[in-house]
Chain A
Amino acid sequence: MIGERTERREDARLTSGRGRYLADHDVPGLAHVAILRSTSAHAVIRGIDVSGATALPGVIAVVTQADLDRAGARPMTHRLPLLGVLPLEWGLLARDRARFVGEPIAAVVAATRSIAEDAMELIVIDEEQLPAVVDPFVALAPGAPLLYSEWGTNEFFRMTSLPPVLGDVLATAPYVKQFRLTDHRIAALPLEGHGVQAAPDPATGTLHVYASNQQPHQLRTVIAETCGLDEQSVRVVAPDMGGGFGNKQHFTREECLTAMLALITGRPVRWIQDRTEGLISSIHSREQVHDVTVGYDDSGKVLAYRVDVTANVGNPILYFSGIGPAIVTVGALEGGYDFGVVGFDLRCVATNTCPIGAYRGFGQPQAHFSSERTLDAIAVDLGLDPIDVRRRNLLPDGPRPWITGGGARIDVGPLGPHLDALVTEFGYGRWRDLQSEARADGRLVGIGVSALVQGTAPTQYGVAGRFGSYESAAVAVLPDGRVTVAVGTKSQGQGHETTLAQVAADVFGVGVDRVTVTDGDTAQLPYGMGTWGSRTAVMAGGAVLRAATQLREKMDRIAAGMQTASAEPPTFSEIAEEAWWQTHRLPADEEPGLQQTVVYTPGNTMPVPDEHGHMNFDETFAAHMTAVAVEVDPETGDVRVLDAVLVSDCGVVINPMVVEGQHQGGFAQGLGAVLFEEVRYDDDGQPLTSTLVDYTIPEAPDVPRLRVVQRETPSAVAGGFRGVGEASIIATPAVIAGAVADALAPLGVEITSTRLHAHYLRRAIRAAGYTPDASAFASR
């Protein structure tokens, strides 16, 4: 039932080795793919000699872009519907130019992956190295090497919104601050990497694809397009997934390439990304620089806020590309605050690095990092408490929806009480006392706070023309009274088999164990939008609720006409039997059977300007308030989280345990992002973090518990749900940065970057003139 801490039903399978992931779908005759990738960041490919590789026993095919052209493969494009985005098309393999290390150049199909890798070593590439550009500011400078000479620039996209009054308000504001904030590059790193398996069916001319992908229907569309097939000829199944986090939201070259390889060789083929491929070529995220100008008054109220965003989008050959998250960043600058006049100047810059794309949070962590650093800076400047500065700037309690300057329709409940709850649950006053005591002892304890209002269940029309804001669900009650639910979303581990079953069970008044949820199969529903953007509870939850409610009403009508032997009303199963088998007894205008397919939209979004020029990208909003206390070791730079509390309002909670899990997981990733992880390149564009020895993710001992306090303000969408999947990954980098900045304030260290890794802090602390105390350190 909705609201219960129902244990996750998929866990019996997933935690006992019985999950079936991409690699667990062997079929007879399966061949294996290895992809040869560029080792140069920028090079002209003059020729590719595959003769040695082709001759190796066990090799079935060696394929280059020329072969794909011959086989009829079509190019991919970014599908960005926005005005001003430069046109860009690319093949499934690099044709004559490689633009980042890791870009696919040739594919080998062989009897085993080992043979395929042996053959890969025999491919000879004749290439001419070109100068590479890694830093977006260098890429914008005159004379920089150009990725696409036909553009005449590396500026892939620019979008500005600078209301004329912005300058006036800044000019007259009592206080103005200007600073640069940096978000470093990270990778989402699902435990199970990307993978795809494609099998042609010669009898029907169709292609059966397994893909570890968050959006199987959209992938079907893209595969059909690039392979020159009808959409109905392709079936995509996303099996159990070991995480996705947006990294598997894109429709990649490799997925379409593997499908083409199946068509070319006429056999089932499988490609499984290895970890190095994952780290160097499978979508990076977050890298942005924000130049902030803020004007405020002496109460700490922000009067004007301008953020110039420079987003490194890498080589932007990605369906919707790094522009997507950057656009979300500039749309989310204010978050849950009223900053008076807001403006931005966004530049998306192409560089010779891995394409930037989606990662859980999708542009919002950068916006939130900047708003929270800005408010903290104001608090320090004016000697105010950071909680008070947030209170001054939070959206007022009414009206709802609160319509922002741009047209976002923010429907959260009053925010003040959430902040009050945070102060109480965290023990804010007590932590400030403990902090004073610690400081008196020379210890560096700091407190960080964040107030997040997040848009959830978005339409992504603006970032990819084909992302509609709806979801499909097919619900049926079988003759034995069991309920089946099929949805167009795709669980990557979030527990949808449980939560969506709870929604259906709640409507039908049956036990959750009667309901079976399936997802990720394009054969089940005509179309669906998949799982991303904190959308599944709102969109699939709403669709299931609608379909189940319609069925429930039908069952009530049938039951009303049923004769039972006893005086008891008919049971759930008896009504199901009646509907399927005793069709002659049904009311005259009632169709037989119990099945209902619904395509549901809450209908709140408007991705193109309406008559007021307003756009609203999110079906509903959620509010999350976070506080952490940390201690920084000035000798080593280690950050230890002493306490962390998140007050969560995601509307009606389907399963509090699952919500806690989402928050805990996002906390781990957010903490990892700022304390441990960083994708690094050298100046020539060679990746320096291509294994998990160098790309260090947090491990169990590194992640403390996040205390979650749940409050419920139902939304107006079906079920009263709001999205929750991204809240803590958005809030955590900002709140940790705030706490670290607070901790290091006595040393005069300023925090203007998400790089809070021990080695960076250690250097910053030394640079501020701190001399380590060996004696104190020795006895710790």
Chain B
Amino acid sequence: MKPAPFDYVRCANVPEAIAALSGDEGAKVIAGGQSLVPLMAMRLARPTLLVDVNDVGLDGITVERDVIRIGACTRHRRLERDPVIARVAPLLQEAAGLIGYPAIRTRGTIGGSLVHADPVAELPTVLVAAGGFVVVRSGAGTRVIAAVDLFTGFLDTTLEHDEIVEDVLLPVAGTRHGSSFCEWSPREGDFATAGVALAIERDDDGRCVALGAAACGLASVPLDCSTLLAAVLGETSASGALLRQIARVMRADLAGDPDRADLVGLLAARAVHRAFARSDERSAAAA
């Protein structure tokens, strides 16, 4: 398990990295290396040049009114532990903590996870559920890609070869926000067999007025499930009847492996239950 021969360049800034990528069709960005290196070791990925972006200044978290901007090289561990993230993007914080093990999380980056686009990875699912965006740059300038437009299939995105993800944009959670990432895997720390990311916003009467949800494990990309969960809109609590209805609808309407659809339904019900509970807590704390 040794990678095929490759060259390596550590870049000091984004333009340098873009230039390196543009100059070699077989070049690939490396960030935390936690997905790319195993693929290289098995020779499933054979980049001719590794363009290291760890020093190009892409880490950092800034909150701009109702948007949170996260540098692509921000490590999972930081997302998990940063108090700002906990406040403005609790779904992301919870999801980051579910990735692998601490050793993986201290190396792996949000940009790497999104571009790697593993269909059972947590962060792509969060991006779809939260309706986030990525900001990418190439020699031609920058563009912004919405979550639903980013993922196209198993380990595949709409990113061009010479494009680098600079930032990830997510909405800032409101005062009555509630969210949950629920997943199931046979062992702790494993990639999930199935998972659901869900976030709700509620009005002053406690009614759910907005909902974003996505499921992983069912298809080659995270599946937007907000429509399937529309029954939650307008509800003021996660009643048993509502939860049972959610699971039933999802089990019946989700295509693909029935076992996974079954799990996703159950996990969605749990996510709704927890999102309401957390929204209640957050509202109480805000009051």
Is this pair of chains taken from one and the same complex? yes
CB–CB B186/A778 < 8 A: no
Whole-angstrom CA separation of A708 from B134 in the bound complex: 55
Indicate whether A778 sits within 8 Å of B191 (C-beta atoms), given known contacts A114-B2, A696-B186, A759-B259. Answer: no
Whole-angstrom CA separation of A118 from B272 in the bound complex: 51
Query: Is B266's beta carbon under 8 Å from chain A?
Result: yes
Closest to B3 in A: A114
Closest to B242 in A: A775
Which of A656-664, A698-706, A716-724 lies on the face that meets chain B? A698-706
CB–CB B42/A772 < 8 A: no
Number of A-B contacts (CB under 8 A): 81
Whole-angstrom CA separation of A702 from B240 in the bound complex: 31
CB–CB B5/A114 < 8 A: yes
Bitwise, A755-772 to B at CB < 8 A (1) or not (0) is 001110011001000001
Whole-angstrom CA separation of A276 from B38 in the bound complex: 12
Contact of A766 among B240, B243, B262, B270 (CB under 8 A): B262
CB–CB B4/A696 < 8 A: no
Query: Is A274's beta carbon under 8 Å from chain B?
Result: yes
> Chain A: interface residue count, which band?
35 or more
List residues of B (1-24) whose CB comes within 8 Å of A's CBs: 1-5
CB–CB A774/B259 < 8 A: no
Query: Is A275's beta carbon under 8 Å from chain B?
Result: yes
CB–CB B266/A777 < 8 A: yes
CB–CB B186/A757 < 8 A: yes
Bitwise, B142-185 to A at CB < 8 A (1) or not (0) is 00000000000000000000000000000000000000000010
Q: Contacts of A638 on B, CB cut-off 8 Å?
A: 186
Q: Contacts of B189 on A, CB cut-off 8 Å?
A: 699, 701
Bitwise, A219-261 to B at CB < 8 A (1) or not (0) is 0000000000000000000000000000000000000000000
Query: Is B281's beta carbon under 8 Å from chain A?
Result: no
Whole-angstrom CA separation of A777 from B240 in the bound complex: 10
CB–CB B190/A696 < 8 A: yes
**A46 → chain B, closest Cβ, in Å?**
25
**B160 → chain A, closest Cβ, in Å?**
29
CB–CB A759/B186 < 8 A: yes
Q: Contacts of B1 on A, CB cut-off 8 Å?
A: 117, 274-276
Closest to A277 in B: B1
Query: Is B65's beta carbon under 8 Å from chain A?
Result: no
CB–CB A772/B187 < 8 A: no
Query: Is B130's beta carbon under 8 Å from chain A?
Result: no
Q: Contacts of A763 on B, CB cut-off 8 Å?
A: 259
Contact of A777 among B4, B5, B42, B270 (CB under 8 A): B270
Bitwise, B117-158 to A at CB < 8 A (1) or not (0) is 000000000000000000000000000000000000000000
**A507 → chain B, closest Cβ, in Å?**
46
List residues of A (149-183) whose CB comes within 8 Å of B's CBs: none
Query: Is B244's beta carbon under 8 Å from chain A?
Result: yes
Q: Contacts of A762 on B, CB cut-off 8 Å?
A: 259, 262-263
Q: Contacts of B265 on A, CB cut-off 8 Å?
A: 772, 774
Contact of A118 among B5, B187, B247 (CB under 8 A): B5
Query: Is A693's beta carbon under 8 Å from chain B?
Result: yes
Q: Contacts of B244 on A, CB cut-off 8 Å?
A: 773-775
Query: Is A113's beta carbon under 8 Å from chain B?
Result: yes
Q: Contacts of B187 on A, CB cut-off 8 Å?
A: 676, 696, 698-699, 701-702
Query: Is A636's beta carbon under 8 Å from chain B?
Result: yes
Q: Which 3 pairs show the lowest CB-CB distances between chains A and B?
A: A774-B247, A775-B240, A778-B273
Known: A117-B2, A118-B4, A702-B187. 9 other contacts (CB 8 A): A114-B2, A635-B266, A636-B184, A757-B186, A759-B259, A772-B247, A774-B247, A775-B240, A777-B266
Residues of B within 8 A of A (CB): 1-5, 42-43, 184, 186-191, 193, 238, 240-241, 243-244, 246-248, 259, 262-263, 265-266, 269-270, 272-274
